[in-house]
C-alpha cells in the first residue's frame, strides 16, 4: 500500500459532539484538543458557493428551513448555525469552504472532505469541489482526502482532479463496492463501525486500501478496531479520545 500521511484519529464534522458540526468553531475546537485531522461535509449553494453542511435541508443545524441547495449564499450567510447546540455558540455562521481551508492550512490540520451533493447534483458537485480543493490546497505537503457515499461524485472528482486521493464511504461494503473502489482508484474505504470486521480490514488491505471507520465513540471499540489494523478512527468523542490516545492524534 502507498504511504498513509494522515493521523489515525479524525475529528468528526470538525468538533465532534462538543461544537456545532461543520462550523469554523467546530474546526477550532478540534484543533484546540490536538486533532491533526478533521472530517467535514461540503455542498454547493444554488449560486455555486461551497459551504460546510451535512443535511440536504437547513432545518436541523441552522435557523433556516428548507432545501439548502435552493438558497443562494447571500440568503444563507446570515443564518445561525450554532444556536441549535447551545447558547455558547449562538450566532455562529455557516462556514464557507474557502474559510475552512484557510483555517486548516494555517494551523497544519489535515482535511477529510466529504462531498455531500445536493440531491441530483452529484457529478457537478464532485467536479467543482475537487477543482476547488486542488486550488485551496495548492502546494500543500499533504493533499486533502476526498470522500463520499456518491460514486458519481467521486468519479467526477477523479476526472477533474485525479491527483487528489479519494475514499469511498460505504455502510456495509459489498463485492460491487470493491469493484467501484477499483474504478475510482480509491485509496481508502470508509466503513460504518457496526459493519467493520477483521476480515473486512484484511480484504481491504489486500486490495491496497486503507480503512477508516465511522463513527467510533467508545474507546474499547476503537482499541479493537485498531488491533484489527484499522488505519483511521473518525470520532465524535474528541475529549476522551484525545486523552486516551494522544499518540494517535
List active site positions.
12, 54
Give the C-alpha separation, 129 to 207, whole Å. 27
Decide: 119 and 56 in contact? Cβ < 8 Å: yes
Matching residue, cell 467526477: 156
Cβ-based burial of 84 (10 A; exposed 0-12, middle 13-18, buried ≥19)? middle
Residue 62: all three cell numbers together:
441552522
Q: How far is CA 169 from CA 69, 175, 188, 193, in A?
A: 22, 14, 9, 12
Longest dimension (CA), the chain: 48
- End-to-end C-alpha distance for the chain, whole angstroms: 21
Task: Give the CA radius of gyration of the chain.
Answer: 17
Q: What is the distance of C-alpha 22 from the center of its chain?
A: 9
Give the C-alpha separation, 71 to 56, whole Å. 11
Calculate the CA dihedral of residues 65, 66, 67, 72 and round it to 10 degrees: -60
Give the C-alpha separation, 20 to 135, whole Å. 27
Classify 144 as helix, strand or coil.
Answer: coil
Amino acid at each position: 500500500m502507498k504511504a498513509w500521511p494522515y493521523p489515525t484519529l479524525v475529528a468528526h464534522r470538525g468538533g465532534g459532539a462538543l461544537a456545532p458540526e461543520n462550523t469554523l468553531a467546530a474546526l477550532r475546537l478540534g484543533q484546540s484538543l490536538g486533532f491533526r485531522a478533521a472530517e467535514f461535509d461540503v455542498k454547493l449553494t444554488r449560486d455555486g458557493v461551497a459551504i460546510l453542511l451535512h443535511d440536504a435541508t437547513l432545518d436541523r443545524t441552522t435557523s433556516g428551513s428548507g432545501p439548502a441547495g435552493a438558497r443562494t449564499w447571500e440568503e444563507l450567510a446570515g443564518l445561525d448555525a450554532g444556536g441549535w447546540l447551545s447558547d455558547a455558540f449562538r450566532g455562529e455562521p455557516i462556514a464557507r469552504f474557502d474559510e475552512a481551508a484557510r483555517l486548516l492550512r494555517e494551523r497544519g490540520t489535515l482535511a477529510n472532505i466529504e462531498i455531500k451533493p445536493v440531491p441530483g447534483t452529484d457529478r457537478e458537485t464532485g467536479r467543482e469541489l475537487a477543482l476547488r480543493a486542488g486550488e485551496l490546497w495548492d502546494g500543500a505537503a499533504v493533499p486533502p482526502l476526498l470522500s463520499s457515499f456518491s460514486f458519481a461524485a467521486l468519479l467526477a472528482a477523479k476526472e477533474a482532479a485525479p491527483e487528489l486521493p479519494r475514499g469511498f464511504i460505504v455502510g456495509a461494503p459489498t463485492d460491487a463496492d470493491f469493484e467501484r473502489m477499483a474504478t475510482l482508484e480509491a485509496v481508502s474505504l470508509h466503513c460504518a463501525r457496526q459493519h467493520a470486521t477483521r476480515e473486512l480490514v484484511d480484504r481491504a488491505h489486500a486490495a491496497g486500501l486503507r480503512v477508516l471507520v465511522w463513527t467510533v465513540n467508545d474507546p474499547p471499540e476503537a482499541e479493537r478496531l485498531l488491533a484489527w489494523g484499522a488505519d483511521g478512527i473518525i470520532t465524535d468523542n474528541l475529549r476522551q479520545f484525545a486523552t486516551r490516545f494522544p499518540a494517535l492524534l
